[in-house]
């Protein structure tokens, strides 16, 4: 019996499941990061991004629906590791002045993973002729980039405050 060769559609679906799983882990971790952060700006950034993340999951739900597939995640070892590292830094630097710097770095690692995934998915959706999916994936990609830029800004502000 010949094994059916996997296609680009399979690859797209598998990667969609990967980011679906990742977003759900991120949704659970963001309130913990908001709680752990010392500065109110950082707390606020995480709270706002948590709300955005809910919408991002809804967009993924819509794409699964377009494909006629059940919305189901598949364990993403990358996000498991990144989230574990963020929890480690929150625990190990709890009483440190460097806590927010550590949390910021962990949060940026999350955003960079997401930017990578959404960039890829958007490109593949275009190749597969899924115009509506391209639009949804781009909306989320822009949110992730905006969040990354905001985190960079907060990191720079912290550096400048220290220098002042
Ligand atoms: Fe996200
Ligand atoms: Fe992954
Ligand atoms: Fe994000």
Residue 1 reports pLDDT greater than 70: no
Nearest to 22 by CA among 102, 64, 77: 77
Domain segments of the chain: what residues?
A: 8-163
Nearest to 155 by CA among 87, 147, 76: 147
Residues 6+ apart with CB under 8 A from 39: 100, 154, 158
Dist. CA 17 → ligand 2 center (Å): 9
Dist. CA 53 → ligand 1 center (Å): 5
Dist. CA 30 → ligand 2 center (Å): 18
70-118: pLDDT as tens digits? 999 999 999 999 999 999 999 999 999 999 999 999 999 999 999 999 9
Query: Is residue 161 within 8 Å of residue 38, measured between CB atoms?
Result: no
8-163: CATH, from 3.30.499.10, 1.20.1260.10, 3.90.550.10, 1.20.1530.20: 1.20.1260.10
Dist. CA 14 → ligand 2 center (Å): 10
Ligand nearest to the backbone CA of 49? 3
Dist. CA 155 → ligand 2 center (Å): 26
């Amino acid at each position: 019996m010949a094994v059916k060769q996997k296609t680009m559609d399979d690859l797209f679906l598998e990667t969609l499941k990967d980011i679906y799983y990742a977003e759900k882990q991120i949704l659970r971790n963001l309130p913990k990061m908001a709680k752990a952060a010392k500065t109110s700006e950082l707390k606020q950034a995480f709270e706002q991004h948590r709300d955005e993340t809910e919408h991002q999951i809804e967009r993924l739900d819509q794409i699964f629906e377009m494909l006629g597939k059940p919305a189901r995640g598949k364990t993403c070892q990358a996000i498991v590791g990144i989230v574990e590292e963020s929890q480690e830094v929150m625990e190990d630097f709890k009483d440190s002045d460097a806590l927010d710097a550590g949390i910021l770095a962990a949060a940026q690692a999350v955003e960079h993973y997401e930017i990578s995934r959404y960039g890829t998915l958007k490109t593949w959706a275009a190749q597969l002729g899924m115009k509506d999916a391209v639009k949804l994936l781009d909306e989320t990609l822009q949110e992730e980039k905006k969040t990354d830029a905001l985190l960079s800004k907060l990191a720079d502000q912290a550096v400048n405050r220290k220098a002042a």
